[in-house]
Structure 1
Amino acid sequence: MIAFHPRTLVFAAASFVLACGQAQAESSYPNRPIKLIVPYAAGGTVDVFARVISPGLEEKLKQPIVVENVPGAGGAIGVNKGVKSPADGYTIVMGIVSDVVLAPLTESAVTYTYKDLEAIGPLGTSGLAVVANPSIGINSFSSLITYAKANPGKLSYGATGAGSLPAVAMESLKRRTGIDIEFIPYTSASKIALDLMGGHLDIALSGLPALLEPIKSGKMMAIGVMSKERDIGSPEIGSAGETPELGGMDFYFWTGLFAPKGTAPAIVSKINEAFAEVLQEEDVRIRFKDYGVKISEPMTPAQFADFVAKSNADWEAVIKSQ
């Protein structure tokens, strides 16, 4: 007969109780509101996306989705808050390429990496727009380059954070064309828009969806989108890829949902399935198309994790080459 030390029995019993408790928590998930961190200010592109999907997620998961805007440092403050949140499924993050991949690669103050997040699923890709104050008279990439070359150092542009996709894209354009435009970093896209319309800023780069209304009302002039192809929602706006001076340039946003590292696979899968179902709803697809969002094909969490890892490797190579 095998004898067990009392401490061994206590440890085994405690482990069993813990495992049972975790399994029960996963099976009953969710049983309270879920916080969705948006690492940008209200009214920006990512905030708009979060509020489009939240009602559908609430319906699928049967719990309120509470959007919490945590702006600053080009999205890094919000993502960092998500990284440090309990890995229980009650805090998720809407992340984009800027804050999940680029910020850790370009900003020494950022202490997390994409590996500190559990990938849940992709939303899609969307346009990075360049706009101007209408008084300058710039309405295309070619006219921007011509004006900047004739007036070196006179123009200024705003973007959220030095390591953000808008800033990286514009600095790439400056290097490629040899133009000199002063960079002014901002904490929020909404403040950039206000300063541009108020005449305190010449050029701005931000997600196109949040800029559509001021473009349509004439308060901003669209220069173009920084991708190879034109935006699916606003095909009248030109693209960098079709501009001779910028041949092959292709910058765009990808967006997805993430959870803190260590969140149970069963919980991640449940959110993934609900999210994928929401993105197939006709009214949601129509709204995103109007915003110029190309909704991704459904991916498992593992497939989305591979996508993010590849994006990180691609951007790391780009940054090292500069």
Structure 2
Amino acid sequence: MFQPRLTQLGMALAITVSATATQAADFPTRDIRVIVPWGAGGGTDGIVRKITNIAEESLPVSTYVENIEGGMSATGLLQLMKARPDGHTLGALTYDSVVTVPWQGMLPGYSLDQLKLVARITSEPDAVIVPDDSEYQTIQGLIDAAKSAPGEIRVGLQNMGSRTHLTLLQLQDEAGVEFKVIAYPGGAAPQKEALLNGEVDFVVTSLGDFAPLIEAGDARGLVEFSDQQNEAFPNVPPATEAGLELQMGSFIVLAVPARTPDEAVETLESAYKEAYESEAFQEWLPKVGVAPSWLGSEEVTQWAEETQETLFATMDELAEQGLLEK
């Protein structure tokens, strides 16, 4: 029997919606892929692998982490955006994914609206790190030296325009100094090599990134841009204790494609929260110098929007001053 085209379309839509609802109710039905948009062996990679391995115990399927480097996380973000929105592809967002990439327009069409945020699991302030044999014993000592020799003290950053670059610009502005900037794209590994072989006098990144070198006695932190003492590094004072107001750092947020069913998001959030609260994760995380910092899906979405608004305004102002290129 002939049916009007609209009726046929309506039936097709109903079948699609029904199938999607059934898939969401059965989620997960196959292995879950977790995209880390940075290289293997870095701080983000290690943390995501640790919590994912624990979360897998609460899921009826296996999980696997895939490193997709490039474009300050833009390459991995593109794959996350294009993934089937069924909850079986999850991605790890860091500062650059939330702030740098959208502000600089590095990935056309990308915004947080293209994703659903599942949870925030860590907060990791930036820090100033020097070789263990450095003449600088305190951040004030480094600032005083920079005032005596403007533009001569060398600092290693991961990328121009990145979070660490913004941290440095704000430090220079607050302290009234200028450093010689040398960029080392590709994460913390090139920074470590540059610091150890004497190419730079200090680096700006997280203490967690340099935890092995600090523990081995090859490097030490002068200050962490936070208002709280990092228990894993009791000899590194927070910025507020060192007389600085600057607070800046990264984080790890888990996300899925925007049209992922809420039921799948809830399942993932529950599994990762259980993993986050586990004794294994809570005891391990401070050992790598990172603070646990949970926000669920609803809370992290609001936090991310507010973070973007604040930092975009700061970056626009620095761009107007010619200190940052957009």
Please indicate, yes or no, whether the TM-score normalized by the shorter chain is above 0.5: yes
Shift of 1:4: 8.4
Shift of 1:142: 0.8
Shift of 1:215: 0.8
User: Does structure 2 retain, via aligned residues, the 8 Å contact 1:73–1:161?
Assistant: no
Deviations 1:153-187 (A, max 9, x none): 22222222233221111111112223221222322
Matched, 1:255 2:252: yes
Which residue number corresponds to residue 206 of structure 1? 205
Structure 2 residue matching 1:241: 3-state secondary structure? coil
Task: Output the amino acid matched with 1:51.
Answer: R
Tell me how far apart the structure 2 counterparts of residues 39 and 276 of structure 1 sit (CA, whole Å). 22
Tell me how far apart the structure 1 counterparts of residues 206 and 63 of structure 2 sit (CA, whole Å). 23
1:200-279 equivalent positions in 2, closer than 5 A: 200-244=199-243, 246=244, 248-279=245-276
Tell me how far apart the structure 2 counterparts of residues 320 and 222 of structure 1 sit (CA, whole Å). 30
Task: Output the amino acid matched with 2:290.
Answer: V
Task: Output the amino acid matched with 1:145.
Answer: I
Shift of 1:233: 2.1
Task: Output the amino acid matched with 2:207.
Answer: L
Which residue number corresponds to residue 193 of structure 1? 192
Which residue number corresponds to residue 30 of structure 1? 28
Shift of 1:261: 1.6
Which of 6, 13, 16 is the equivalent residue of 1:15? Answer: 13
Which residue number corresponds to residue 323 of structure 2? none
Percentage of pairs with the same residue:
23
Task: Output the amino acid matched with 1:204.
Answer: V
Shift of 1:237: 0.9
User: Does structure 1 retain, via aligned residues, the 8 Å contact 2:211–2:289?
Assistant: no
Task: Output the amino acid matched with 2:240.
Answer: G
Structure 1 6/73 Cα, relative in aligned 2: closer, same or farther at 3 Å? Answer: closer
Tell me how far apart the structure 1 counterparts of residues 241 and 133 of structure 2 sit (CA, whole Å). 25
Structure 2 residue matching 1:139: 3-state secondary structure? coil
Which residue number corresponds to residue 310 of structure 1? 306
Which of 43, 50, 53 is the equivalent residue of 1:52? Answer: 50
Structure 1 135/153 Cα, relative in aligned 2: closer, same or farther at 3 Å? Answer: farther
What are the ranges of 5 or more consecutive residues in structure 1 without an aligned counterpart? Answer: none
Tell me how far apart the structure 2 counterparts of residues 76 and 65 of structure 1 sit (CA, whole Å). 22
Shift of 1:224: 1.8
Shift of 1:135: 4.2
Task: Output the amino acid matched with 1:55.
Answer: N
Structure 1 294/133 Cα, relative in aligned 2: closer, same or farther at 3 Å? Answer: closer
TM-score normalized by the length of structure 1: 0.90
TM-score normalized by the length of structure 2: 0.89
Structure 1 182/50 Cα, relative in aligned 2: closer, same or farther at 3 Å? Answer: same
Structure 2 residue matching 1:81: 3-state secondary structure? helix
Shift of 1:212: 1.1
Which residue number corresponds to residue 77 of structure 1? 75
1:154-165 equivalent positions in 2, closer than 5 A: 154-165=152-163
Which residue number corresponds to residue 102 of structure 1? 100
User: Does structure 1 retain, via aligned residues, the 8 Å contact 2:170–2:246?
Assistant: no
Shift of 1:297: 4.3
Which of 178, 181, 190 is the equivalent residue of 1:180? Answer: 178
Deviations 1:223-249 (A, max 9, x none): 2211222213222212222223x2x21
Structure 1 128/74 Cα, relative in aligned 2: closer, same or farther at 3 Å? Answer: same
Deviations 1:48-88 (A, max 9, x none): 21121011121112222211122333333322332232222
Matched, 1:153 2:136: no
Shift of 1:30: 1.5
Task: Output the amino acid matched with 1:316.
Answer: F
User: Does structure 1 retain, via aligned residues, the 8 Å contact 2:52–2:272?
Assistant: no
Structure 1 residue matching 2:240: 3-state secondary structure? helix
Matched, 1:136 2:134: yes
Which residue number corresponds to residue 324 of structure 2? none
Structure 1 232/4 Cα, relative in aligned 2: closer, same or farther at 3 Å? Answer: farther
